[in-house]
């Protein structure tokens, strides 16, 4: 029998044992066969028993490795909690326009009070202390909101626009509470709003919205031509109507009442003069009053 293809190489004779269909040989025979094949023989020496010191060292090394693993796990969990806290603190920071809101509000109130005090001092220096009030025929002050320079007056409201309210909607004695109209910070193009502030009455604004909704829901035939002679568009129902806007000047509604009272006094004075000169003075006074006052105001 040849080995490695070399016909001159002979396989050494080994003693084997056969039992139950299995062939086996001793370790010595195995080593002789391995040596003849160029392999390292098997170690026949019994393993040496480890000393108690070596066992203790191995146990200590195992414990240290386990402690190091636990410490690394603890450090990883601490870093995870730290990262979560940092993220929460970052999210808790107030955004633009919200930062230091309380401080901004307090500073705004303080600034407003300081400006009001400066305005009072200036008015006292100019008018000898306090503002002069003018009473109407009904004994009502010209501006109930003004008290020794405090609050807003007609001069402060000059130039402001009022939505949805016109002079025709107001009558003598009417009181309308106006607030600043809500609007966005940016316009449709993304630019900052630079329009002037506008006032509105919430009740009138809501009523106008409901009225527009009812008109839009109710089908209504519209003529082809508008009142100004323009041809009505196909999608004209989606066109937004211009809101009614009234611009305040330095004369508010109370000032308009004062003008009417002054006109009435002049007419009464003119009627008395005509009554003393002519018995038909009362009819003449009524004729003059009819040129300036309505029928309801003449009755008053």
**Quick one: pLDDT band at residue 11, thresholds 50, 70, 90?**
low
Which of 131 and 286 is assigned the larger pLDDT? 286
40 Cα distance to chain centroid:
83
Q: Are 41 and 29 in contact (CB under 8 A)?
A: no
Q: Which residues of 108-143 are buried (b: 16+ CB within 10 A; e: fewer)?
A: eeeeeeeeeeeebeeeeeeeeeebeeeeeeeeeebb
pLDDT value for 78: 92
Q: Quick one: tokens of 187?
A: 């316009």
Q: pLDDT (tens digit, 9 = 90+) per residue, 21-62?
A: 787 778 888 888 888 888 888 877 766 676 778 888 889 999
- % of the chain beyond a pLDDT of 70: 48
Which of 252 and 227 is assigned the larger pLDDT? 227
**For residue 15, which phi and psi values (nearest 5 degrees)?**
-95, 130
Q: What is the chain's length?
A: 300
pLDDT value for 92: 66
Q: Quick one: tokens of 28?
A: 């010595």
Around Cβ 84, how many Cβ atoms within 10 Å? 10
Around Cβ 273, how many Cβ atoms within 10 Å? 13
pLDDT value for 300: 54
CA distance 232 to 276: 62
The whole-number average pLDDT for the span 138-154 is 47
pTM over 0.95: no
What are the DSSP calls for 112-139, one per residue?
Answer: HHHHHHHHHHHHHHHHTSSPPP-B-TTS
**Quick one: pLDDT band at residue 136, thresholds 50, 70, 90?**
very low
The whole-number average pLDDT for the span 90-114 is 67
**Quick one: pLDDT band at residue 111, thresholds 50, 70, 90?**
confident
CA distance 281 to 300: 18
Q: pLDDT (tens digit, 9 = 90+) per residue, 69-96?
A: 999 999 999 999 898 888 887 776 655 5
pLDDT value for 135: 39
pLDDT value for 104: 63
Assess whether pLDDT exceeds 70 at residue 151: no
Q: Are 267 and 285 in contact (CB under 8 A)?
A: yes
pLDDT value for 139: 41
Q: pLDDT (tens digit, 9 = 90+) per residue, 229-248?
A: 666 665 555 555 556 666 66
The whole-number average pLDDT for the span 7-32 is 73
Assess whether pLDDT exceeds 70 at residue 191: yes
Assess whether pLDDT exceeds 90 at residue 225: no
Give 170's contacts (C-beta < 8 A, 6+ positions apart).
176, 253
Which of 207 and 260 is assigned the larger pLDDT? 207
Q: Are 150 and 167 in contact (CB under 8 A)?
A: no
pLDDT value for 141: 45
């Amino acid at each position: 029998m040849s080995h490695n293809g070399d016909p001159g190489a002979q396989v050494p004779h080994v003693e084997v044992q056969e039992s139950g269909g299995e062939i086996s040989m001793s370790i010595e025979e195995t080593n002789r066969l391995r040596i003849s094949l160029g392999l390292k023989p098997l170690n026949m020496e019994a393993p040496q028993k480890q000393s108690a010191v070596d066992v203790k060292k191995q146990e200590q090394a195992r414990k240290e490795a386990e402690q190091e693993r636990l410490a690394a796990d603890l450090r990883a969990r601490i870093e995870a909690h730290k990262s979560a806290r940092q993220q929460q603190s970052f999210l808790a920071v107030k955004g633009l326009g919200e930062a230091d809101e309380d401080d901004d509000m307090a500073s705004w109130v303080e600034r407003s009070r300081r400006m009001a005090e400066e305005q009072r001092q200036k008015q006292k220096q100019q008018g000898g202390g306090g503002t002069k009030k003018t009473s109407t025929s009904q004994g009502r002050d010209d501006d109930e909101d003004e008290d020794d320079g405090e609050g807003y007056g007609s001069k402060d409201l000059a130039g402001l626009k009022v939505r949805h309210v016109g002079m025709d909607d107001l009558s003598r004695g009417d009181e309308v509470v106006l607030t600043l109209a809500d609007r966005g910070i940016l316009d449709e193009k993304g630019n900052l709003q630079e329009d002037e502030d506008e006032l509105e009455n919430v009740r009138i604004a809501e009523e106008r919205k409901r009225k527009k909704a009812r008109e839009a829901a109710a089908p209504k035939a519209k003529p082809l031509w508008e009142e100004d002679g323009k041809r009505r568009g196909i999608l004209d129902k989606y066109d937004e109507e211009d809101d009614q806007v009234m611009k305040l000047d330095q004369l508010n509604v109370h000032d308009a009442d004062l003008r009417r009272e002054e006109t009435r006094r002049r007419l009464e004075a003119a009627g008395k003069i005509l009554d003393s000169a002519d018995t038909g003075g009362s009819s003449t006074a009524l004729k003059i009053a009819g040129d300036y006052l309505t029928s309801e105001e003449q009755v008053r």
